[in-house]
């Protein structure tokens, strides 16, 4: 009956024209059930597409009879086809420049000097001086030098390499090595060291705006010695964003990096991304790609410019910012705003004196306790905006954000239903929500977005050591959220496909198994079923980006954003989920990625940046 209704719902639209493409003889998992549980809804055999949208879903016979003389009919041979995956907190603009293959394609030494090092921590300081000297010798006076120090094929070297930036590799070293060149050394995730020439070039690039900043991006690192600024040490956490996106890369260069980078990531099945856009340079690049119809995936973006949080005190700016919520194109639209990255302060008691002292420091001056930050969020929410795109990593600031949401709504005269309709979202789910916060989330109609990859990396294991079982239970607590009826979506927030062997499947697996990379199972009570995780990765990703009416499930009328997998995610042994490969990724009816094996089978050409540039998917 469900199949018949779905077919009849599309019958009028296809009466005059046959589908462009039909996929048949497959396991078409539609995720068309909207409930907050693991019910994925209809599982069909075939699906029909025309003009970028789904026109019918049903049995092989029902769908194949719709074919016309020009319809491409493609046999799935039993493979699973599902909605494309969402990454509702990710930073393609941050991760794409960490892809050595993409950067080699786009950037030549005539533009500026790009070098990559990807060696184990115990070899880094043996190889770094040679790479540094070669880069300096190659550079022309005044030319930017950028060296990226990556964290290995399994992404396991970060804890050892990241602290070297600012210590063994420091501003003084770079000043001496490159006295005539601006230079940065970028970590394989976050963290960066910049020399004085680089600092001078950044300040010059921003001109008189620099002195108007209420937040200095060079101070975006709390690990600097007390009393020392980022300008003094040259060490910062995430200021590579401003340096790379606004200063180093010209507009045309950045645009091409993102074009190839988005296409590259589509090979792991991502069709929907969401991120705060941190700089004018990144906004310009994505806008240019969107207007040219060259976005390989959809991107919901949030406003984040802490350098000028004070501008939200201007009523015109706060109102106009709130007015664009949900607006944009089918590939690029606004999802909200955040005023602060989020701190790591928790109410939980540490188990050791070291943990207690660290948490005391983290709680000394939380961001949302600061007037400029809390006022910016308050004014924006009071104007009718939505919080999205944040990096919340501690339950104490969650309390503050919930208070701001309630106060802003109350002062604006909003009803509770009007507040709920905003669908505010907090992101990461690191050490939150606490059990006592969950009813407030529910009452305010809020969502969450979680980065399960931290379970894989051992962060939940460390939380168990630092705070006991309660700490581990609060680390991406998906089961508690499902039990409470709170939608939650899936993040990546790591440069997985750019240079590691990890894929989106590692993210899904981490939530299902609660295993870290050493096989330790942490807080298994928070594990969810693979069906729940698929719903979080698809339908609830669409909810999180305000696009559930056109994305997230395979219903007639929605965009044809979907993936074909080489194995059945729903039935393979759990550990085999890690081995699943995405054979095809389609966005709006256009194939953005097709692996060579499937292309040969269907008599088509393989496509996508990984195919073009020889990435891992070129061997699938």
pLDDT band at 367 (very low <50, low <70, confident <90, very high): confident
At 139 the three-state DSSP class reads: coil
**Is pLDDT at 438 greater than 60 in this prediction?**
yes
Mind listing the pLDDT tens digit for each residue in 29-85?
A: 999 999 999 999 999 999 999 999 999 999 999 999 999 999 999 999 999 999 999
Report yes or no on 481 lying in a domain. Answer: yes
Pairing type for strands 488-490 and 447-450 reads: parallel
Residues 22 and 116 in one domain: no
255 within domain boundaries: no
Are residues 459 and 312 located together in one domain of the fold? yes
Say how many C-beta atoms besides its own lie within 10 A of residue 468's C-beta.
14
594 is a domain residue: yes
526 and 476 housed in the same domain: yes
**What pLDDT is recorded for position 219?**
85
Q: Return all residues near 173 (Cβ < 8 A) that are at least 6 apart.
A: none
> Residues 591-596: what's their mean pLDDT?
99
* Separation between Cα atoms, residue 90 and residue 418, nearest integer Å: 28
For 316-350, b/e burial (b = at least 16 CB within 10 A) is ebbeebbeebeebeebbbbbbbbbbbbbbbbebeb
Last residue of a domain, one of 544, 569, 589: 544
Residue 440 has pLDDT above 80, yes or no: yes
**What ranges make up the beta strands (E) of 383-438?**
425-428
Q: Which residues make beta-bridge pairs with 523?
A: none
Instruction: List phi, psi (to 5°) of 29.
Output: -90, 105
pLDDT of 553 strictly over 80: yes
Tell me: do 313 and 454 sit in the same domain. yes
Residue 102 falls inside a structural domain: no
Question: Within this chain, do residues 331 and 235 fall inside the same structural domain, yes or no?
Answer: no
Q: Are residues 533 and 576 in the same domain?
A: no
**81-90: b or e for each residue (b if 16 or more CB lie within 10 Å)?**
bbbbbbbbbb
CATH number of the domain to which 347 belongs: 3.20.20.140
Confidence of residue 342 (pLDDT cuts 50, 70, 90): confident
Q: What is the pLDDT of residues 236-258, one digit of tens each?
A: 999 999 999 999 999 999 999 99
Q: pLDDT digit string (tens) for 76-100?
A: 999 999 999 999 999 999 999 999 9
Name the phi and psi angles at 126, rounded to 5. Answer: -80, -35
Would you give the DSSP letter of residue 285? H
Tell me if 442 is assigned to some domain: yes
Q: Minimal CA–CA distance to 338: which of 311, 304, 297, 375?
A: 304
**8-state DSSP, 339:** S
Tell me the residue ranges of DSSP E strands in 200-297. Answer: 235-236, 270-277
Residues 41 and 124 grouped into a single domain: no
Domain ends where: 511, 544, 577? 544
In a domain, 165, yes or no: yes
Banded pLDDT at 2 (limits 50, 70, 90): very low
User: Which pLDDT band holds residue 230 (cuts at 50, 70, 90)?
Assistant: confident
Same domain, 53 and 144: no
Task: Give yes or no for a contact between 461 and 516, defined as CB atoms under 8 angstroms apart.
Answer: yes
Determine what percent of the chain falls in helix, strand and coil, rounding each to the nearest 5. Answer: 45, 15, 40
152 and 33 inside one domain = no
Do 161 and 17 lie in one domain? The reply is: no
- The answer to whether the CB of 80 falls within 8 A of the CB of 481 is no
Cα distance between residue 105 and residue 102, in whole Å: 5
Does residue 420 lie within any of the structural domains? yes
Q: E strand or H helix at 23, and its extent? A: strand 21-24
Domain boundary among 190, 222, 249: 249
Predicted confidence at residue 28, as pLDDT, reads 99
Q: CB neighbours of 515 closer than 8 A, spacing ≥ 6?
A: 455, 456, 509, 521, 522
261 located within any domain: no
**Which pLDDT belongs to residue 221?**
67
Name the packing angle between helices 251-265 and 280-291 (round to 10°): 70
CB atoms inside a 10 Å sphere around CB 201: 19
Q: Is residue 427 domain-shared with residue 568, that is, in the same domain?
A: no
Which of these, 236, 259, 314, 249, lies nearest to 279 by C-alpha position? 249
Neighbouring residues of 513: CB distance < 8 A, sequence distance ≥ 6: 521, 527, 574, 575
Q: 332 and 304, same structural domain? A: yes
Q: What pLDDT does residue 525 have? A: 98
Does residue 1 surpass a pLDDT of 70? no
Total domains, the chain: 3
Give the H/E segment covering residue 356.
Answer: helix 353-362
Write out the residue range of the structural domain in which residue 211 sits: 112-249
pTM: 0.95
Count Cα neighbours of 343 within 13 Å in the Cβ-side half-sphere: 23
The verdict on whether omega for the bond into residue 433 sits within 30 degrees of 0, i.e. cis, is yes
Specify the CATH number for the domain of residue 6. Answer: 2.30.40.10
pLDDT at residue number 226? 76
Strand-pair partners of 387: 337
Q: How far is CA 358 from CA 130, 235, 288, 354, 461, in A?
A: 37, 20, 44, 6, 17
């Amino acid at each position: 009956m469900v199949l018949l209704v779905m077919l009849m719902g599309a019958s009028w639209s296809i009466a005059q024209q046959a589908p462009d493409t039909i996929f048949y003889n497959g396991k078409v998992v539609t995720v068309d059930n909207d409930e907050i549980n693991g019910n994925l809804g209809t599982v069909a055999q075939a699906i029909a597409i025309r003009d970028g949208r789904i026109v019918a879903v049903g049995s092989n016979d029902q769908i194949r009879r719709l074919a016309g003389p020009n319809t491409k009919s493609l046999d799935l041979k039993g493979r699973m086809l599902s909605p494309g995956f969402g990454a509702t907190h990710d930073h393609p603009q941050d991760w794409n420049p960490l892809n050595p293959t993409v950067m080699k394609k786009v950037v030549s030494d005539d533009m500026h000097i790009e070098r990559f090092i990807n060696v184990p921590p115990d070899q880094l300081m043996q190889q770094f001086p040679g790479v540094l000297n070669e880069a300096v010798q190659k550079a022309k006076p005044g030319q930017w030098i950028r060296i990226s120090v990556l964290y290995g094929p399994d992404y396991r070297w970060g804890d050892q390499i990241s602290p070297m930036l600012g210590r063994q590799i420091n501003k003084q070293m770079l000043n001496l090595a490159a006295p005539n060149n601006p230079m940065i050394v970028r970590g394989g995730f976050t963290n960066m060291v910049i020399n004085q020439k680089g600092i001078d070039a950044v300040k010059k690039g921003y001109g008189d705006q620099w002195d108007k900043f209420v937040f200095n991006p060079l101070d975006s690192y709390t690990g600097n010695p007390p009393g020392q600024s980022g300008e003094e040490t040259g060490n910062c956490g995430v200021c590579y964003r401003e340096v790379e996106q606004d200063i180093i890369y010209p507009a045309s260069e950045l645009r091409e990096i993102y074009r190839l980078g988005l296409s590259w990531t589509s090979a792991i099945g991502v069709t929907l991304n969401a991120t705060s856009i941190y700089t004018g340079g990144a906004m310009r690049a994505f806008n240019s790609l969107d207007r040219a119809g060259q976005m390989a995936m959809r991107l919901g973006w949030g406003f984040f410019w802490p350098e000028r949080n004070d501008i939200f005190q201007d009523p015109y700016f706060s109102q106009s910012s709130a007015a664009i919520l949900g607006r944009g194109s089918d590939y690029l639209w606004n999802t909200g705003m955040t005023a602060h990255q989020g701190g790591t302060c928790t109410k939980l008691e540490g188990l050791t004196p070291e943990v207690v002292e660290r948490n005391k420091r983290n709680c000394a001056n939380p961001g949302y306790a600061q007037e400029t930050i809390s006022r910016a969020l308050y004014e924006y929410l009071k104007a009718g905006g939505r919080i999205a795109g944040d990096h919340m990593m501690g339950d104490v600031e969650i309390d503050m954000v919930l208070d701001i949401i309630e106060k802003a709504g109350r002062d604006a005269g909003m009803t509770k239903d009007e507040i709920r309709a905003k669908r505010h979202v907090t992101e990461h789910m690191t050490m939150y929500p606490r059990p006592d916060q969950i009813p407030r989330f529910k009452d305010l109609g809020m969502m969450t977005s979680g980065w399960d990859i931290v379970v894989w990396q051992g962060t939940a294991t460390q939380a168990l050591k630092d705070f006991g079982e309660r700490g581990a239970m609060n680390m991406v607590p998906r089961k508690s959220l499902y039990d409470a009826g709170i939608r939650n979506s899936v993040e990546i927030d790591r440069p997985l496909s750019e240079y590691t062997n990890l894929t989106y499947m590692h993210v899904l697996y981490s939530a299902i198994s609660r295993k870290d990379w050493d096989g330790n199972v942490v807080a298994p009570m928070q594990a969810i079923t693979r069906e729940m995780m698929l719903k979080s990765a698809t339908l609830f990703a669409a909810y999180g980006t305000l696009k559930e009416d056109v994305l997230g499930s395979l219903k007639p009328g929605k965009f044809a954003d979907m993936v074909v997998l080489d194995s059945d995610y729903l039935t393979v042994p759990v550990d085999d989920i890690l081995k699943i490969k995405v054979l095809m990724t389609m966005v709006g009816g256009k194939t953005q990625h097709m692996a060579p094996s499937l292309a040969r089978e269907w008599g088509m050409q393989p496509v996508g940046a990984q195919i073009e540039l020889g990435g891992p998917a070129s061997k699938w």
